[in-house]
A and B are shown apart, each in its own frame.
Chain A
Amino acid sequence: MTTNSPSKVHVTTTINGQQHELLVPPYMSLLDTLRELIGLTGTKEGCLDGNCGACTVSLDGRIVDSCLVLGAEVDGKNVDTVEGMATPEGLHPLQQAFLEEAALQCGICTPGILVAAKGLLDNEPSPSEGRIRHWLAGNLCRCTGYDKIVRAVQKASS
């Protein structure tokens, strides 16, 4: 028995400031849309059920787990990923602080945490330690024990 391919959804979306026109299978997550259709593999897969935060992206300025969003849902929206944080002039202050503070070990959770932390600092330039911990509680890291990540976010705060 064979089934026919489901028809695809036409999506126009802005990813890291650049417009993309895509045909997205209706079952495909935003995570796979970014990784498989666009080739932006900086956004990582950790669990596919919204519990690790490795796939965190910004959707119209709100941080989301891209494994829980369908690619078809981002039509007309702005998606920002880790690949959009640095500019030709240099790294984002959070990226620089993560390097200086040794806030990554294996680095697999780093893109999601950077995007989430940027979401915090964009709205709250000087968060407390408690606020940072609360905001990032949806992003798991198994290597660092979180200490150096908190310090790096504090360092990047104004």
Chain B
Amino acid sequence: MVETFEPKTDYKVVGTRPIRHDGYDKVTGRAIYGGDMKLPGLIWGVLVRSPHAHANIKSINTSAAEASEGVMAIVTGADMPEAPSKLVDLGEGNVNFKWASNKLMAGDKVLYHGHPVAAIAAVDRHHAEEAARKVVVEYEVLPSVTNVTDAMSDDAPVILPDLVGDDLGEEITNTNIAEHMRHEFGDVEAAFAAAAHTIEREYNMEMVHQGYIEPHNATAVWDEEDRIKIWTSTQGSFNARTQVAGILQIDVSRVKVTPLEIGGGFGGKIPIYLEPVAALLAKKSGRPVKMVMERSAVFETTGPTPGGRMVIKLGADANGILTAATADIWFEAGAYPGALIGPAAMCIYAPYEIANTRIDGWDVVVNKPKTAPYRAPGSPQVAFAMESAVNELCEEAGWDSLKFRMDNSSREGTRRGDGVLFGKVGMDEVLEATKASAHWNSPLGDASAGKKRGRGIASGYWFNIGLKSAANLAVVSDGTVILTEGSTDIGGSRVAMAMHVAEVLGIDAHDVRPSVVDTESVGFTDVTGGSRTTYATGYACWIAANNLVDELKKRVAILWDINEDDVDFNDGAFSSKAEAEKTIRFKELAGKLGDLGGPATSTGSVDLESAGDGFGLHIADVEIDTATGKTDVIRYTVVQDVGTAIHPSYVDGQLQGGAVQGIGWALNEEYYMTDDGVMANSSYLDYRMPTFLDLPMIGTEIVEVPNPLHPYGVRGVGETPICPPIGALANAIQNAIGTRLYNTPMNAGSILEALK
């Protein structure tokens, strides 16, 4: 039985905005990120990468590199331990160790441009780079495929000869299709036959990158007991430990991962790329080895999230009620399976109640880097298609698109596209808040000469995950509490964890000192991802704090020589049930613990199924220059149900940051591939993420419909906000220029085309 909680409003700490504990180190430059790691005797490792997207490796000659000055070790695919083909669940996606190993060091074949073929460690980075240029690799270039349509054609080169695909439960071989899955409910054909209005459209999207500013990095050293120690920037140190052990084929107990500060991830630092290679170089050289990935390689070989092709069909009755929907989704997995079509299917219809639905999804292998989760993986793509189709249906039928969304909204008991029934959700509250918002009720204003303005809305959804977390507490004699936890802090989560504890103990958030610790200092904790950290690790902190209260009641019982069942705890004070005037506050008690049984500690751990569904709706105003095709976002508002906002500033930040990533995805970002499968824009200059100058202030409307599954009502927050922007901007652009765009990016060139 899942425990549920009644909403409260009289919090002392929850809902306040204390300064984050790690903030001082981060504004003074003292915080140690992965790339800042130093160890005595440290040497540097670099990778040699394939210039081809698909080729057989005929030979690798490292003799000149070995003789190069300062070189201490060289590793090629032949040095990689043979990992079995076995799927392991890593929270936001599964990993097959054979493919995970092959991804970070090619065997006899390269599958994407930039695929590592060798690694070199030398006394410093410069000498390692010099030596890397001397590795001679002979390739036999093979035809490559870089989009789903080509990859599924009959004459497509088969990228993974040992891939056994799953076509609706049937095994298929000699294919690039890793999976074809389906969810179907109701009678779709009958519903379309009876529909008064239908629409069917195709949408195409290019891959995009998470774009974190900190490149991937890893430092590795073996100790005297033949155990490997890793320091890295990761979204999950325990997840990294699992991957390192699986790829190196050693027991997890022989891997210790210490997470250093992480410079962004957004899902892209759940997979690992360098750690096992650094470990092998460290083994061969007998030295600690550090690797920091170059930016072009970050684009070319890590992270991207799938592009693909989507066909959506919607049917509605004469009253504007959705009755039927179908979707066919083909996503690019990259060079190995795992395009996360499952989450896409879970999200596509989520904001709407639709009786008859079908979703077919295909996970297609192509000669591009293996995709990784990116903030609500799979959901922004399908939201673009769905929200565009919904608006186009409304335009054709003459319906108001906000009213249409209200008339068809999801609520408790609505069935999601994959069959799951919603619990308490806040979609109606989000729609009401949108309707009442200042932005929605403000005029669009007149465009300046040569420009056109438009407004668009779109909704978005992420299910949010729970999973496993652990936390430890220890009381210090001055009345502070040390909190150790395992969720790497990408965006201010330490302070949210401390607030969970402080609220229970009735102390200040700054009297709790949170630390993110290594894999040998706290219980297993899943990744910082899936919008789970504040929900699940916060929940574990709440349990630990309550366990600490129970422990302290025993000490109060010793102090007053009464039974521990006769000790009460309220608002930070222990009291005697028998003598109400007998009280002692937490801080005072902390100083007496030495004589009351010694140090007081506690733990909390959770394994949670769901984090409570998150719905949002965005309003975008654009101004388009009809001469250049350039789109300026002139006003933007995010409305989202967050459950309860523990630290409203960081909730706000998640909403704003997610929205802006979505704006970049919508308007400009893409993997621009040459015919040979080479990414032609693998620098920040050419990839062109949004800058300060490209954006307005991002308004937020935080809606709080407390989640009954969390003690304070938290829902996941971070991922939902990247889902609506692409659709909102497509709808705003249509509103401005009268023409609809069906492909991303909706850049100046495609807008000029549309204006012709």
CB <8 Å contact, A99 and B20: yes
What's the tally of chain A residues with a CB closer than 8 Å to chain B?
Answer: 65
CB <8 Å contact, B692 and A137: yes
CB <8 Å contact, A136 and B28: no
Residue in A2, A44, A95 whose CB lies within 8 Å of B28: A95
Tell me how far the C-beta of A70 lies from the nearest C-beta in chain B, rounded to whole angstroms: 13
CB <8 Å contact, B491 and A106: yes
Q: Assuming A42-B28, A51-B684, A81-B29, what are 13 further A-B pairs, CB within 8 angstroms? A: A36-B124, A99-B23, A102-B17, A102-B492, A106-B261, A107-B261, A108-B264, A132-B692, A134-B693, A139-B692, A142-B213, A142-B657, A143-B490
CB <8 Å contact, A145 and B691: no
8 Å CB contacts to B: which residues of A37-56?
Answer: 39-49, 51-52, 54
CB <8 Å contact, A86 and B28: yes
Enumerate the 8 nearest inter-chain pairs by beta-carbon distance, A residue then B residue, closest first.
A42-B29, A108-B263, A145-B660, A107-B26, A102-B649, A51-B684, A105-B491, A145-B656
Output the residue of B22, B292, B685 with the most chain A CB within 10 A: B685
8 Å CB contacts to B: which residues of A133-158?
Answer: 133-134, 136-150
Residues of A close to B261: CB separation below 8 A: 106-108
CB <8 Å contact, A102 and B20: yes
Q: A82-B28, A142-B213, A147-B698 are in contact. Are A106 and B69 (CB under 8 A)?
A: no
Bound-complex Cα distance A45 to B291 (A): 13
CB <8 Å contact, B685 and A51: yes
Stretch of A7-15, A71-79, A109-117 on the interface side: A109-117
Output the residue of A46, A51, A107 with the most chain B CB within 10 A: A107
Residue A28 lies at the interface, judged by CB distance under 8 Å to chain B = yes
Bound-complex Cα distance A141 to B214 (A): 10
Q: Which A residues fall within an 8 A CB radius of B?
A: 1-5, 25, 27-28, 32, 35-36, 39-49, 51-52, 54, 81-83, 85-86, 91, 95, 98-102, 104-111, 114, 129, 132-134, 136-150
CB <8 Å contact, B214 and A44: yes
Residue B184 lies at the interface, judged by CB distance under 8 Å to chain A = no
Tell me how far the C-beta of B531 lies from the nearest C-beta in chain A, rounded to whole angstroms: 14
Residues of B close to A81: CB separation below 8 A: 29
Bound-complex Cα distance A125 to B19 (A): 25
CB <8 Å contact, A106 and B490: yes
Q: A40-B29, A81-B29 are in contact. Are A99 and B24 (CB under 8 A)?
A: yes
CB <8 Å contact, A46 and B295: yes
CB <8 Å contact, B698 and A145: yes
Residue in B67, B211, B292, B647 whose CB lies within 8 Å of A142: B211
Residues of A close to B262: CB separation below 8 A: 106
Q: Which residue of chain B has the shortest Cβ distance to A114 in the bound complex?
A: B27
Q: A54-B213, A102-B492, A108-B263 are in contact. Are A148 and B692 (CB under 8 A)?
A: no
Q: Which residue of chain A has the shortest Cβ distance to B44 in the bound complex?
A: A36
Q: A102-B492, A148-B649 are in contact. Are A140 and B26 (CB under 8 A)?
A: no
Bound-complex Cα distance A147 to B653 (A): 8
CB <8 Å contact, A108 and B27: no
Tell me how far the C-beta of A139 lies from the nearest C-beta in chain B, rounded to whole angstroms: 7
Q: Which residue of chain B has the shortest Cβ distance to A95 in the bound complex?
A: B27
Residues of A close to B490: CB separation below 8 A: 105-106, 143
What's the tally of chain B residues with a CB closer than 8 Å to chain A?
Answer: 65
Q: Which residue of chain B has the shortest Cβ distance to A101 in the bound complex?
A: B649
Residue B35 lies at the interface, judged by CB distance under 8 Å to chain A = yes
CB <8 Å contact, B215 and A46: yes
B637-661: contact bitstring with A at CB < 8 Å (1 yes, 0 no)? 0000000000101101100111111
8 Å CB contacts to A: which residues of B22-49?
Answer: 22-24, 26-33, 35-36, 38
CB <8 Å contact, B28 and A91: yes
CB <8 Å contact, A140 and B31: no
Residue B752 lies at the interface, judged by CB distance under 8 Å to chain A = no
Q: A49-B295, A148-B653 are in contact. Are A25 and B126 (CB under 8 A)?
A: yes
B671-705: contact bitstring with A at CB < 8 Å (1 yes, 0 no)? 00000000000011100011111010110000000
Residues of B close to A99: CB separation below 8 A: 19-20, 23-24, 27
Bound-complex Cα distance A85 to B656 (A): 28
Residue in B67, B685, B692 whose CB lies within 8 Å of A133: B692
Q: Which residue of chain A has the shortest Cβ distance to B648 in the bound complex?
A: A102
Residues of A close to B693: CB separation below 8 A: 133-134, 137
CB <8 Å contact, B69 and A5: yes
CB <8 Å contact, A150 and B697: yes
Residues of A close to B265: CB separation below 8 A: 106
